[in-house]
Structure 1
Amino acid sequence: MIHIVTPSEPVYREHLFNKLHSELKCNFYSGNRFDGTKVVKPKLSRKEYNSLSFAKVFLWQKGLSQIKLNKKDVLVIVGNIKYLSNIPLVLRAKLKGVKIVWWGQVWSAGTTMPKMFLRVAFARLVSNHFLTYTDKEIEKVPKWLYPRRRMFATNNAMNDIAVNEAKKNWGAERLNKFKVEKSLENKKVVLFCGRLTNKVDMPFALRVIKQISTVEPRILFVVVGDGPNLEELKQQSKELNLESNITWIGSIYDENYLAPWFLSSDVLFYPGAIGLSLTHAFHYQLPVLTHDKIENHMPEIAALEVGKNGEVYKKDNLNSAAEVLSNMLADKEKLQKMGEHGQAMVKAKYSMESMVENFIKAVTF
């Protein structure tokens, strides 16, 4: 039996877990915490437990002691060393000879080298295999710190099956009607899709749009998402007189409703630490613009090929961002080629099918 323990089950993981259950008949044990991201309720063989905080630093997932382990089992832990409840679970698994797979990030936004070494060293201490988010993370790990033959990468993916189904539902005629309805025709549409938190420098994005709008009044910034900073950002946009250059959509989790916004856009502009939004855009053949501090992004930044499927600007440099975005919007032919390259790349390497295959390799090796 394969047991998968995760702090929570965000919506973007639902299809993956359904596929793994179908292929492997896994048991899932999820908490109910994910910092505001929408989660799904337990289904199939899933059990949901409460998560408790200690001093706002460490966490404890209640109920893990109820997991029955046998020697031939595999225990997959969505790795986060802040979850102290994983420690007794790991000790119990080791005593029973259960194979342990640590599924987590080697490197994420803001990770320092000491933190990376601590993460990997802890993973080696507690696990038999390390399942990372991307191939490039494995390349960052010294061979002496964690043996390469015991490291695997999922190449973290969106539910591209849902994306492809949604695209089929939006043929040319229906999409054109949508553009007319939303006043998108003849606009230079720049899309943002994500949570509106301090981790995403949206005030910077608003200033970039303002600067471009003075020379290109057709620019329209479409913001899909919600979060604690929404009202403050709306006020800032009013102070910048951006009412005619910005549209606030709110949260959308249904891919069929997200699709027309992606399909109607020219560029995805992400001013913070980008993650799955990158490959999400590529599945819609949409080029991406983000900042150039690669170490300040999430692991999925590995999918970005500058000049081929997206561009970068100098972080926190208003003129650089405005110039790069303006140049992208001015070259429709290049945008088309970038979009095609991005889509081809994620189909080959960052699909849900390949993610499931990579996961199965790690737990059955």
Structure 2
Amino acid sequence: MKKILIVQPSIPKYRVPFFNYLSKKYNVVIYSNKTDFLGVVSQKYCGNVVWGNGFLSFKNKILWHKGLPIFSMLNKNTIVVVNGNPRVLNYMLLLLLCKMKGIKTIWWGHGWSAGSCGILSSIRIKMMEIANCILVYTDYEKTKINKKKCFALNNGLNSSEIVNAINDSDFRHDFCAQTRMVFVGRLTKKSNLEFLINAMKYLPENIKLSVIGDGVLKETFINLADELKVSDRIVWHGAIYDEKLIASVMLKSDVFVYPGSVGLSLIHAYNYGLPSIIHNNREMHMPEYAAFIEGYNGLGYDEMDTDSFCRAVLSYSRLSNNEKRKLRDNAFNTVKTDYNIESMVLRFEDAINFIS
């Protein structure tokens, strides 16, 4: 059984099923932290984990994974999978040392992230070249990088958990006179929820919004909704981590909206058959935007253009129920055929086999 060392800042909930699958096929050791530099808290994982001591931060730009035992990891009988964040200095040091020692490595991370450009983006592309294999989040990134040693996971979720939550629910989705939008994500600047709340005042009364998530800007957003007199059309659910409780909201929604830089929450929505309304500036989205296909599983609009957004919402609301069901079916099919854990594991195996 091949031994694979995986270096990650944290073990978020959505990664646990993926690591569990990998552990059935490989001898996996994960080097991580109980909380990463973004405040993401690691979830309970029954596999082999070597916990670090958090991160040192230099002016919030350069980072160091404390307690990462680099030199004990330098073994030619292992494959080292390094998180591809060039801001974490000892991740890049580990990559270089492995190269010098002839240890096979995989760079795992974004080909780019929302708004990434300039020197950091250039460094990322250069550092990727050191690894024996590059593993990015989506096929779109793979195509852009255009190298034989580049593979794509098509970042996904544990669809079976969501299917179980849907099946266990007492509620079944159906359309009604209202158009019920739902937003899922952290209430931060990245979400750009302020734009959505402002747009609500230009939409008809039968357009409603549910918000799943919490964050530093929650009170600011609630106050804005009060000022604009749209608070009676918005339900604030707060952060929800229980998939069955999430299902109770998603199954009473018709369409997913995200006015900021959308990421994995798009895949989450598609697992519930929710088509999306998101802006069409690819460079300002996370890699998971690649799952969006205009007119197939959602509708796009011009970024930060309220009129364009409202037209998209109204276009959706005026569709016949059969047309809406077609979008729902397409959303389901997007994650049924790809963007799921089983597919990710097979793609990861392809990368391992490439360098073995």
Matches within 5 A, 1:257-276: 257-276=245-264
* Secondary structure, counterpart of 1:205 in structure 2: helix
1:39 aligns with 2:42: yes
Residue pair 1:51, 1:59 contacting (<8 A) in 2 also: yes
Number of the residue aligned with 2:57: 53
- In the other structure, the counterpart of 1:89 is 94
How many Å separate the matches in 1 of 2:37 and 2:160?
A: 24
Whether the 8 Å contact between 2:86 and 2:120 is mirrored in structure 1 is: no
Letter of the 1:64 counterpart: L
Contact persistence 1:226–1:250 (CA under 8 A): yes
Taking structure 2 as the reference length, the TM-score comes to 0.93
- 2:258 and 2:215 map into 1 onto residues whose CA distance is 15
In structure 2, relative to structure 1, the CA distance for the partners of 1:323 and 1:209 (3 Å cut) is same
Which residue number in structure 2 is paired with residue 103 of structure 1? 108
Aligned to 2:5: 3
Local SS of the residue matching 1:342 = helix
State whether structure 2 residue 176 is matched by structure 1 residue 201. Answer: no
Aligned CA distance change for structure 1 residues 340 and 207 (closer, same or farther; 3 Å): same
Question: 5 Å matches for 1:99-138?
Answer: 99-112=104-117, 115-124=120-129, 126-138=130-142
Query: Which of 232, 241, 262 pairs up with 2:229?
Result: 241
- Paired residue secondary structure (1:152): strand
Distance 1:175 1:266 in 2: 14
Deviations 1:154-182 (A, max 9, x none): 01101212111111112xxx216x99xxx
Offset at residue 23 of structure 1 (A): 1.9
In the alignment, structure 1 segments of 5+ residues that lack a partner are: none
Kept in 1, the 8 Å contact 2:273–2:328? The answer is yes
- The aligned counterpart of 1:232 is 220
Cα distance in structure 2, aligned partners of 1:252 and 1:273: 20
Pairing 1:14–2:16 present: yes
* 2:333 aligned to which of 340, 344, 347: 344
Residues 349-360 of structure 1: pairs in structure 2 closer than 5 A: 349-360=338-349
How far does residue 69 in structure 1 lie from its aligned partner after superposition? 3.1
Aligned to 1:166: 165
**Deviation of residue 92 (structure 1)?**
3.2
Give the letter for the 2:66 counterpart: K
Contact map agreement 1:161 1:352 (CA 8 A) in 2? no
Question: Deviation at 1:93?
Answer: 2.1
Counterpart Cα distance in 2 of 1:230 and 1:76: 36
**Structure 2: 5+ residue stretches without partners:** none
Query: Equivalent pairs: percent with the same residue?
Result: 35
Q: 2:77 aligns with which of 59, 72, 92?
A: 72
Shift in CA distance, 293/233, structure 1 to aligned 2, threshold 3 Å: same
* Paired amino acid for 2:263: G
Matched, 1:333 2:322: yes
Q: Does 1:293 align with 2:296?
A: no
1:114, CA displacement in angstroms?
A: 6.0
Per the TM alignment, residue 334 of structure 1 is displaced from its structure 2 partner at its CA by 2.1
Give 1:68 shift. 3.3
CA distance in 2, matches of 1:45, 1:289: 40
Contact 2:261/2:285 (8 A) holds in 1 = yes
TM-score, length of structure 1 as denominator length: 0.90
